[in-house]
Structure 1
Amino acid sequence: MPYRVRPAGLTDAAVVTDLLNEVDRIEIGRPETDLHTVEADLKRPDVDLDRDSWLAFHGERLVAYGLLWDESGGERIDIDHYVLPDHQHAGQLLLDAMEARALDRARGNGAGRAVVHLHLNTEPTLDTRLIEERGWGVVRRYHVLRRPVDAAEDVVPELPSGVRLRSCADEADRARVHALYQSSFAEHFDFQPRGYEQWLHDVDADALDWSLVWIAGTEELGDAGFLLARDDREAMGWIRSIGVVRAGRGLGLGGLLLRNAFAAFAARGRDTVGLGVDTSNTTGAPALYARHGMAVHYAVDTWEAVLT
Structure 2
Amino acid sequence: MSYRLRPASLDDAPAITALLNEVDRIEIGRPETDLHTVETDLKHPEADLERDSWLAFEGDLLVAYGLLWDDSGHERVDVDHYVLPDHQRAGELILDLMEARAVEKARENGAGRAVVHLHLNVRPTLDTALLEKRGWATVRRYHVLRRPVAPAADLAPTPPAGVRIRACADEADRVRLHGLYQATFAEHFDFQPRTYDQWLHDIGAEHVDWSLAWIAATEDLGDVGFLLARGDREAMGWIRSLGVLTDARGRGLGGLLLRHAFAAFAARGRDTVGLGVDTANSTGAPQLYGRNGMTVHYAVDTWEAVLD
The alignment's TM-score, normalised by the length of structure 2, stands at: 0.99
Displacement after TM superposition at 1:53 (Å): 0.4
Letter in 2 for 1:108: E
1:11-66 Cα shifts (integer Å, max 9, x gaps): 00000000000000000000000000000000111110000000000111000000
Question: What are the within-5 Å matches in structure 2 for residues 194-233 of structure 1?
Answer: 194-233=194-233
Q: CA deviation at 1:165?
A: 0.4
Deviation of the 1:194 alpha carbon? 0.5
| Aligned amino acid, residue 133 of structure 1 | K
* Aligned-residue identity in percent: 75
User: Does 1:271 find its partner at 2:271?
Assistant: yes
C-alpha distance after superposition, 1:154-208 (max 9, x if no partner): 0110010000100001111001000000000011001100111100111111221
Quote the residue 2:81 is aligned against.
Answer: 81
Secondary structure, counterpart of 1:157 in structure 2 = coil
Secondary structure of 1:85's aligned partner: coil
> What residue is the counterpart of 2:193 in the other structure?
193
Alpha-carbon distance in structure 2 between the residues aligned to 1:95 and 1:247? 44
Partner of 2:6: 6
How many residues matched? 308
What is the alpha-carbon distance in structure 2 between the residues aligned to residue 172 and residue 248 of structure 1?
22
Q: Which residue of 1 aligns with 2:16?
A: 16
Runs of 4+ in structure 1 over 4 Å off: none
Task: Quote the residue 1:62 is aligned against.
Answer: 62
> Pairwise mapping of residues 1-308 of structure 1 onto structure 2 (< 5 A)?
1-308=1-308
- Aligned-residue CA RMSD (Å): 0.5
Q: CA deviation at 1:248?
A: 1.0
Between the aligned partners of 2:33 and 2:202, the Cα distance in structure 1 is 17
CA distance in 2, matches of 1:84, 1:248: 46
Q: Name the amino acid aligned to 1:203.
A: I
The code of the aligned residue for 2:205 comes to A
Q: Over residues 204-260 of structure 1, what are the superposed CA-to-partner deviations in whole Å (9 max), with x where a residue is unaligned? A: 112210000000021001000000000000100000000111111111110000000
| Residues 217 and 253, structure 1, Cα contact 8 Å, conserved in 2 | no
Structure-1 separation of matches of 2:206 and 2:297 = 29
- SS of equivalent to 1:129: helix
Contact 2:56 2:64 in 1 (8 A): yes
Q: What is the alpha-carbon distance in structure 2 between the residues aligned to residue 73 and residue 298 of structure 1?
A: 31
Q: Distance in 1 between matches of 2:190 and 2:42?
A: 22
Distance in 2 between residues matched to 1:143 and 1:207, nearest whole Å = 24
